[in-house]
Amino acid sequence: MRECFRKSFFMSVLLVVACLVLPALAGGQGFATTAWGDPNIQGVWEYWTFTPLERPSELVGKDELTDEEAALIAQRLSDEAVGRDDTRPASGQTGGYNQSFWTERSRATALTQPSLLIDPPDGRIPPLTATEMRRSEVHRVAGDRPVRLRATGVGTDGPEDRGLAERGIVGFSTGPPMLPGGYNNNIQVFQTEGYVVLLAEMVHDVRVVPLDKRPHLPLAIRQWLGDSRGYWEGETLVVETTNFTEKVASFSPMTFDSDLGGFRSLALGTGVSLRLVERFTRIDRDTLEYEFTIDDPETFSQPLTARFPMNRSDLPLYEYACHEGNYGLLNILRGARAEEGNLK
């Protein structure tokens, strides 16, 4: 009798604990919530994939790949990248990073969706508006300045001729919006009751996103990473960003292009008319779905939307130490001056 009572009492205690604890741990989809009841999306999330931004020409009309097809494409691209480690650079060239351990390309990972872009349905960047085409021509005639590319540049006369990431102003692929790049494809999310913090591993760009419904900054105040405001839409964190400076592009992806067999850098439009909407949704314990929409009627004939998963990582963010003191940029300019001297 005493033993039965002990067992019954023990089970009652467990039931009470479960009733108290489980609601605090369970979100709308059974995932943990914060102490104040918001969906918990905190942690380190990595998002490398070989899946390109735009649908490759050989996959036109194909809306979904099988797991086997995606794996074969990823393995082929990874083998090609790693195989370049054994190729000596051309005369006068320094070569690039070792692909096996300096970049993510030794990891043969790809999604079953043929492109990161899901809208337009063809998986391609929509046509530019007539306004943007005229602006681009004026910009080209003016010497393509200010330089809105993330990488490369338009000359070597001074630092302003180089890409924004080369100058250490913004990251190569962390945007916003974020896209998979060659390395440092990690972000850490922190939450407090009134804010969400998005900390990128690359360049350690950080955005502190208020959740208190405050208005955006006055339009006269323009920033490199824009001005972000967030709110919860069910289980999804929605982050709307405006007030980008005209010194950044409306969309400047630096992503892997399978048609080219390498990375390419674009700079389309200016940030002045950009409204960026990002969505973060916890799909399961180990997956955070990331989606972004570029809405810029001055630049694109229609909005464009991309989506891809971020995977939970047990590793911390690491220091991003690409070129302390920016001596890489200094040496680019110094080398150009040396070449000019040799030509005289």
**Burial letters 263-284, b for 16+ CB under 10 A, else e:** bebbbbbbbbbbbbbbbbbbee
- Residue for token pair 């009798």: 1
Instruction: Identify the weakest region by mean pLDDT among 155-164, 242-251, 319-328.
Output: 319-328
How much is the pLDDT for 264? 75
Q: Rounded to an integer, what distance in angstroms lies between the CA atom of residue 51 and that of residue 70? A: 9
Instruction: Identify the weakest region by mean pLDDT among 60-64, 143-147, 252-256.
Output: 252-256
Residue among 72, 40, 90, 2 at smallest CA distance from 284: 40
Answer whether residue 79 shows pLDDT above 70: yes
Q: Report the DSSP pairing between strands 275-284 and 206-210.
A: unpaired
Higher pLDDT, 34 or 329: 34
Question: pTM of this prediction?
Answer: 0.86
Mean pLDDT (whole number) for 102-109: 86
Mean pLDDT (whole number) for 124-141: 91
Extended strands (E) in 13-158: 43-46, 117-119
Higher pLDDT, 299 or 97: 299
Q: How many CB atoms lie within 10 A of CB 243?
A: 20
Mean pLDDT (whole number) for 79-90: 84
The answer to whether the beta carbons of residues 108 and 114 sit under 8 Å apart is no
How much is the pLDDT for 28? 41
